[in-house]
Every structure is written in structure tokens, then in C-alpha cells.
Amino acid sequence: MSIFSKKKKNSNEEPLQDIVNEPIIEEFEKFTEEYSYSSILQTKEYAEVMKNQGNTPIFVGLYDNELCAVSLILISKIKGYKYAYAPRGFLMDYTNKKQLEAMTKEIKNIG
């Protein structure tokens, strides 16, 4: 299994401007459009809203031969601590414990 992610490279870059023209956002959007339990809180538009509120959006996905899970992760700093939040959770099959563990582990490494 492997994971993709796209996040802000340095403080001078706008994260979503990097993402919009890259295949990662196309894969993310395609997956969310086809996923039966998708949420407006897992879209690039919501990421833009949250970015304007001071969060850093990161788009992640997990491959297990094919893309099997995606999530928007919002990173925020509050009182010196960094918090990562997946609005409405990951978009994935939660009954697949192996994929759930891999997704969670990799996201912990990104933050």
C-alpha cells in the first residue's frame, strides 16, 4: 500500500494553487464523486474555505493496487500544538482493517 499527499511546501506558497493543476486533486475529486458516502466537507471547495480560516489543507489517498481511500486533512495550530482533523472522517471502507490501519499510520507521519 502507498499513500499520496500534497501539502504546502513552504510558508510562501498557496497550497491549493499547487494542488489544483496536479493529478492528485483530480484523483481525489473523482474518488469523492464516485464514493457513495461522500460529504461536502471532503471537497477542494471546503478546503479553500478552511484555508481562508487559517487551516492548512492536505489531500491524501491510499493505494492498494488502486485508489481505495482518500481524505482532506486540515492542519491547524492552537496554543503551540498542531492538530490534524479529517472532516467527517476518511472516505474508505472501514471494514478493511488493514487499509484503515495503513491510512491512519501514514496520516500520522504527514502531520
Q: Which stretches of the chain score pLDDT less than 50?
A: 7-22
pLDDT at 74: 93
Write b or e for each residue in 55-66: b if 16 or more Cβ atoms lie within 10 A of its Cβ, otherwise e. bbbbbbbbeeee
pLDDT at 97: 93
Q: Measure the CA angle with vertex 44, ends 3 and 8; round to 5°.
A: 60
pLDDT at 10: 41
Question: E strand or H helix at 98, and its extent?
Answer: helix 97-110
Q: What is the pTM of this model?
A: 0.76
